């Protein structure tokens, strides 16, 4: 949204303020088009702290002045929209107030104890407990029919300048059944992601280790590389492309593997090592954002010598190819405030079997972390062939063995502010054996 959104917001908000007496600061100095304030206002608008025109739309293309920006900040500080401001939104609002302090003083708004360099580093994260129960014989992992896991995650974001931020994800993951961390370095924090992100108008650049696009469907794993994205303000077509390396046991299939997509390949009896699992990785695609309708079409490509290593059955094709070429199409449509539909289809054109995946899901409402008592529910049908994935985000109908198909029902509930309970139940068939499968999944997230 950025300039378009802010232009519209301030046009609406300055009505009635034209008679205010201007003091020493020049009220007609434009805020530069690449200033961080546009992104801050876009986030506040998304969270409902500020609003646009009466019909909820955002119009206009012009740059705005510092005075117009200050008027908007003053209205948000006065809580004219009736939304409680806290957490990251409060930090953004304080930072905007510091930046436009002189203009706010001209409006008679006092800004105390704020500095322009305040909140350079923002911290967010979650503490979560996960319980999963495998209700069908043969579906257990590592000889157990259930797992109990605790994760503590920190996600810092540090401002470098008006264009660049450095971001990271740090995880501490513990198996309660053994009271030991899941990784080799027990009870130590693992740096899962770290990257620099630059924003220049509609362009975004990423360098480092970060999540690939489509991690909500087929790519739930970080990779190391670069990414370029184009996302214009307002509705329209966007573009993204990236390239790098990914540690992808998903591309391999060995009889000793517990689950080729989780990264738990410790028991592969020395057949493989980490170098064998690293694959070259590229993706490119277009997206669409048209109000109630969103969607994307993208291509994901992997290749690695490890796909053909002696002693390892190739996961993708009888022809011993060393590549995966996955085409993904996904979309969502919101029928009303409470009802939405989303789905995806993916196919690996270099796989001879288990090469297709798809999902159709109907959603009703959804738990909102900031609002105690809110809830949501969904029902879905999923067909998940293992070889159509880079890495899978799915829980109860999943890609264990060669994949599964079946129905999922679930719901989430905000038990307290910033505390979300999620439950899922899946019932279906194993794609290889055609045996019945049933899985139960529960998670509690404490967000901060």
Report the range of poorest mean pLDDT among 149-153, 245-249, 305-309, 424-428.
305-309
CATH code, 121-447: 2.40.160.10
The 10s digit of each residue's pLDDT in 96-145 is 888 887 777 776 665 554 444 455 788 899 999 999 988 765 555 544 57
Nearest to 301 by CA among 326, 276, 329: 326
423 touches 381 (CB < 8 A)? no
Computed on alpha carbons and rounded to an integer, the radius of gyration of the chain in Å comes to 24
Higher pLDDT, 97 or 340: 340
Per cent of the chain over pLDDT 70 is: 70
**pLDDT classification of 72: cutoffs 50, 70, 90:** confident
Q: Closest Cα to residue 378, out of 336, 425, 334, 410?
A: 410
Does 330 have pLDDT greater than 90? yes
The stretch 398-406 carries a mean pLDDT of 90
pLDDT in tens, 156-201: 999 898 899 999 999 998 887 765 545 454 556 789 999 999 999 8
pLDDT over threshold 50, residue 308: no
* Residue that has been written with the tokens 């740096």 in this structure: 191
**In which element (H, E) is residue 12 found?**
helix 2-13
Contact of 363 with 340, CB cutoff 8 Å = yes
CA distance 432 to 416: 42
Q: Which of the pair, 6 or 84, is modelled with greater confidence?
A: 84
Residue 284: per-residue pLDDT:
98
Beta carbons of 390 and 300 less than 8 angstroms apart: yes
How do the domains of the chain map onto residue ranges?
2-106, 121-447
Residues 173, 151: contact at Cβ < 8 Å?
Answer: yes
Are 97 and 111 within 8 A, CB to CB?
Answer: yes
Identify the pLDDT of residue 38: 77
The DSSP symbol for 391 reads B
Residue 400: pLDDT band with limits 50, 70, 90 = confident
CA 281/CA 337 separation, integer angstroms: 38
Average pLDDT on 44-68 reads 58
pLDDT(413) > 90: yes
Range name among 40-54, 258-272, 285-299 with the lowest pLDDT average: 258-272
Select, from the ranges 19-33, 53-67, 171-185, the one with the highest average predicted confidence (pLDDT).
171-185
3-state secondary structure of 76: helix
- pLDDT, residue 218, reads 95
Paired with 343 in beta bridges are 331, 360
- Is the pLDDT confidence value at 373 over 80? yes
CA distance 196 to 230: 17
pLDDT higher at 30 or 144: 30
pLDDT higher for 46 or 427? 427
- Span of 297-311, 325-339, 356-370 with lowest mean pLDDT: 297-311
274-296 tens-digit pLDDT = 445 678 899 999 999 888 999 99
Query: Is pLDDT above 60 for 297?
Result: yes
> What is the pTM for the complete model shown?
0.69
3-state secondary structure 235-296: CEEEEEEEEEEEECHHHEECCCCCECCCCECCCCCCCCCHHHHEEEEEEEEEEEEECCEEEE
**Cα atoms in the 13 Å half-sphere on the side-chain side of 317:** 14
């Amino acid at each position: 949204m950025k300039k378009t959104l802010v232009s519209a917001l301030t046009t609406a908000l300055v009505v009635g303020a034209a008679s205010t007496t201007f003091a020493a600061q020049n009220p007609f100095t434009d805020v530069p088009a690449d200033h961080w304030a546009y992104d801050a206002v876009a986030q506040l608008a998304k969270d409902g702290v500020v609003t646009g025109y009466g019909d909820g739309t955002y119009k206009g293309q012009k740059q705005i002045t510092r005075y117009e920006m200050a008027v908007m900040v003053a209205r948000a500080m006065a809580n004219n929209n009736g939304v409680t401001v806290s957490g990251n939104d409060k930090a953004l609002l304080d930072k905007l107030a510091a930046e436009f302090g002189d203009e706010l003083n001209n409006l008679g708004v006092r800004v105390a104890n704020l500095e322009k360099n305040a909140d350079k580093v923002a911290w967010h994260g979650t503490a979560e407990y996960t319980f999963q129960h495998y209700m069908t014989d043969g579906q257990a992992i590592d000889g157990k029919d259930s797992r109990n896991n605790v994760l503590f995650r920190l996600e810092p974001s540090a401002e470098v300048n008006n264009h660049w931020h450095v971001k990271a994800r740090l995880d501490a993951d513990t198996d309660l059944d053994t009271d030991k961390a899941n990784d080799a370095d027990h009870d130590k924090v693992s740096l899962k992601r770290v990257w620099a992100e630059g924003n220049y108008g509609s362009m975004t650049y990423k360098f480092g280790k970060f999540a690939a696009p489509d991690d909500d469907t087929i790519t739930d794993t970080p990779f190391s590389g670069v990414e370029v994205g184009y996302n214009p303000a307002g509705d329209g077509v966007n573009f993204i492309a990236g390239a790098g390396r990914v540690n992808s046991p998903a591309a391999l299939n060995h009889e000793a593997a517990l689950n080729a997509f989780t990264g738990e390949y410790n028991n592969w009896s020395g057949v493989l090592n980490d170098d064998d699992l690293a694959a070259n990785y590229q993706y490119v695609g277009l997206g669409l954002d048209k109000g109630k309708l969103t969607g994307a079409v993208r291509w994901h490509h992997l290749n690695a010598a490890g796909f053909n290593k002696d002693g390892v059955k190739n996961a993708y094709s009888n022809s011993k190819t060393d590549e995966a070429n996955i085409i993904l199409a996904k979309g969502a449509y919101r029928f009303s405030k409470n009802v939405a539909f989303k789905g995806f289809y993916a196919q690996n054109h270099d796989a001879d079997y288990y090469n297709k995946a798809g999902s159709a899901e109907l959603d009703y409402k959804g738990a909102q972390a900031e609002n105690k008592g809110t809830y949501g529910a969904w029902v879905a049908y999923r067909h998940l062939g293992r070889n159509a994935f880079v890495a899978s985000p799915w829980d109860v109908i999943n890609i264990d063995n060669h994949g599964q198909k079946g129905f999922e029902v679930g719901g989430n509930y905000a038990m307290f502010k910033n505390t979300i309970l999620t439950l899922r139940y899946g019932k279906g068939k194993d794609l290889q054996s055609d045996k019945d499968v049933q899985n139960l999944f529960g998670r509690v997230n404490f967000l901060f």
